[in-house]
């Protein structure tokens, strides 16, 4: 079995975006799962994120895969609003596990 120092946390990040182009697409949802060194879930966080871009509609494939629409994102917080929570959860002494990051 994998042994991890007791002070380390495992932090899994998952992002949904408006597309796959890192220069032109935005993050629209984040999910974070924090586990202790015994792989027990100790905290979770999930939030929609309002995009800064003036887009008329989500790409069809994005809407299909995520089930999200622009209406869903209209009242979502801006990235700056959730960034402090994200930074706290990632913090020090963690091993990052990522999907689409």
What is the CATH number for 59?
3.30.420.10
Per-residue pLDDT of the chain (101 residues; tens, 9 = 90+): 556 567 789 999 999 888 888 888 888 899 999 999 889 999 999 999 988 776 666 676 677 777 787 788 888 999 999 999 999 999 888 899 987 67
Specify if 4 maps to a domain: no
Specify if 13 maps to a domain: yes
Specify if 3 maps to a domain: no
Looking at the structure of the chain, the number of domains it has is 1
Specify if 45 maps to a domain: yes
In this predicted structure, what is the pLDDT of residue 5?
A: 64
In this predicted structure, what is the pLDDT of residue 2?
A: 59
Q: Cα-flanking dihedrals φ and ψ of residue 100, to 5°?
A: 60, 40
In this predicted structure, what is the pLDDT of residue 69?
A: 76
Residue 21 sits in which domain range? 9-99
- Is the pTM for the entire model greater than 0.85? no
Distance CA 21, CA 45 (A): 25
In this predicted structure, what is the pLDDT of residue 76?
A: 92
Q: Is the separation of the CB atoms in 33 and 11 below 8 Å?
A: yes
Side-chain-side CA neighbours of 22 within 13 Å: the count stands at 2
In this predicted structure, what is the pLDDT of residue 57?
A: 64
Neighbours of 30 (CB within 10 A): 20
Specify if 32 maps to a domain: yes
Specify if 2 maps to a domain: no
Query: Residues 6 or more apart from 12 whose CB is under 8 A from it?
Result: 32, 33, 34, 35, 96, 97, 98, 99
Specify if 39 maps to a domain: yes
């Amino acid at each position: 079995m994998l042994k991890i120092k007791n002070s380390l946390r495992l932090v899994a990040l998952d992002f949904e975006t408006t597309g796959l182009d890192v220069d032109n697409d935005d993050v629209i949802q984040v999910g974070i799962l924090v586990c202790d060194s015994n792989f027990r879930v100790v905290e979770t966080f999930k939030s929609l994120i309002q995009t800064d871009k003036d887009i008329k509609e989500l790409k069809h494939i994005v809407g299909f895969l995520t089930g999200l629409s622009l209406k869903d994102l209209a009242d979502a917080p801006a990235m700056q609003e959730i960034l402090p929570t994200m930074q706290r959860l990632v913090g020090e002494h963690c091993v990052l596990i990522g999907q689409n990051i």
